[in-house]
Amino acid sequence: MTLKKAYFAGGCFWGVEYHFQKMAGVKDAVSGYMGGSTDEPTYEDVCTGTTGHYEVVEVTYDPDEISYRDLARLFFEIHDPTQEDGQGPDIGAQYRSAIFYTDEEQLETVESLIMTLKLRGFDVKTRLIPAGRFWKAEEYHQDYYERRGGLPYCHVRVKRFD
């Protein structure tokens, strides 16, 4: 079994992590940071909006059980990819919508999905960025909804694909 990685930023990482953890074929979903200029950023660093990091979920999956396309489709359905600078009540650079792709196949898959959404009238603001170093967030951010109970408040699945 060869596992692969995917990186999604769609607002607060708690809700994104929650939805990916529920998918068959996903072996792990970890909250963290990517895209910034600071090594070993903390939540407090990222929240200043000055480091350039996004709140990101690293998804480890088995491509024999779930495709990258299905992961990316879920991503576009659990957040609002048309919101420019945040998600719901969470406003700021760290909450922007982005996909950090690891190879050309991932990039082409996401570009195809974005084209489908645009043809359906969505003004997609999701940024496509080459993946860089992933920094795992503090332990108190991991498995947030599983530990605390409840459901994500700004990540509700809305079907956008057939």
Q: Does the reported pTM lie above 0.75?
A: yes
**Cβ count near 40 (within 10 Å):** 9
Tell me whether residue 132 is in a domain. Answer: yes
Domain count, the chain: 1
Q: What is the model's pLDDT at position 126?
A: 97
Residue 47 annotated among the catalytic residues of the structure: no
Digit-by-digit pLDDT tens for the chain (162 residues) are 799 999 999 998 988 999 999 999 999 999 999 999 889 999 999 999 899 999 999 999 999 999 999 999 999 999 999 998 888 888 889 999 999 999 999 999 999 999 999 999 999 999 999 999 999 998 878 877 677 777 777 788 889 998
The residue type found at 98 is: A
**Cβ count near 130 (within 10 Å):** 11
Tell me whether residue 153 is in a domain. Answer: no
End-to-end CA distance of the chain: 30
Tell me whether residue 53 is in a domain. Answer: yes
Q: Are 61 and 3 in contact (CB under 8 A)?
A: yes
Instruction: Specify the DSSP element, H or E, that contains 91.
Output: strand 90-91
Tell me whether residue 158 is in a domain. Answer: no
Tell me whether residue 83 is in a domain. Answer: yes
Query: For residues 152 and 159, what is the distance between their CA atoms, to the nearest angstrom?
Result: 17
Q: What is the model's pLDDT at position 132?
A: 96
Catalytic residue among 6, 8, 10, 12: 12
| CA 77 to chain CA centroid, nearest Å | 11
User: Looking at residue 75, which CATH number applies to its domain?
Assistant: 3.30.1060.10
Q: What is the model's pLDDT at position 138?
A: 85
Tell me whether residue 136 is in a domain. Answer: yes
Tell me whether residue 161 is in a domain. Answer: no
User: Of 121, 131, 1, which is closest to residue 66 (Cα–Cα)?
Assistant: 1
Q: What is the model's pLDDT at position 146?
A: 77
Tell me whether residue 159 is in a domain. Answer: no
- SS3 category, 104: helix
- Residue 13's domain spans which residues? 4-148
